[in-house]
Amino acid sequence: MSQSTENATDTEPKVTEENSKADEVIIEDKWLIRDCSLYEDEYDECTSFRGRFHQYFIYGRTLDCNQWKRDHDNCCKWVNKKDVKAAEAVINSEKARRMERLRAHYRNDTWKKRDAPPEDWAKPLPEWMVKRDENTLLAIKAKEIREGKDEKVEKSFCSIM
């Protein structure tokens, strides 16, 4: 079997009696697990010359890319063998990555977070804004939808420069 054919079948789960039992196991937050090839792409990008140069420029040092490799390996274990511990490891890694990304948002004490939208959030736009935008493609299409017209606009919005 060729290398490309062999790799293509590696990511597909093998159906056995054990796997059908493992399918019954419900894993909370399973939706956080990305496609395994994305973890491999992230690892390749992280370890590439361009990625290393960017890391050095931004952080003054290169970053540890091994977590992407571990996530890829665990993802493959989950997809191929339905290894629940591997799935949980990937989910925990994704949660940690998300918390790191949102840390500044959660620590923000400059802006007061709203509980609800402002009372007048749906008030009509000012007259000058309505007049300015009345001949845009979006306004014309919205008008057609409101009127129930299915006709195409004969006016051309294409310009050749």
Instruction: Enumerate the domain spans of the chain.
Output: 9-107
Q: Which amino acid is at 138?
A: L
One DSSP character per residue, 14-31 reads P--HHHHHHHTS--TTGG
Distance CA 10, CA 80 (A): 7
Q: What is the pTM of this model?
A: 0.59
Mean pLDDT of the chain: 84
pLDDT of residue 4: 42
Contact criterion met (CB below 8 Å) for 32 and 91: yes
> Which of 26-30, 52-56, 64-68 is the least confident region?
26-30
pLDDT of residue 150: 60
Instruction: Show Cβ contacts of residue 50 under 8 Å, excluding neighbours closer than 6 positions.
Output: none
Distance CA 28, CA 75 (A): 15
Containing H/E element for 75?
helix 66-81
pLDDT of residue 134: 87
- The band of 27, judged by pLDDT with boundaries at 50, 70 and 90, is confident
pLDDT of residue 1: 41
Higher pLDDT, residue 25 or 103: 103
- Whether 15 has a pLDDT exceeding 50, the answer reads no
pLDDT of residue 148: 83
> Which of 20-24, 98-102, 136-140 is the least confident region?
20-24
- The band of 5, judged by pLDDT with boundaries at 50, 70 and 90, is very low
**Of 40, 47, 29, which Cα lies nearest the Cα of 72?**
40
How many Cα atoms occupy the beta-carbon half-sphere of 19 within 13 Å?
11
pLDDT of residue 11: 43
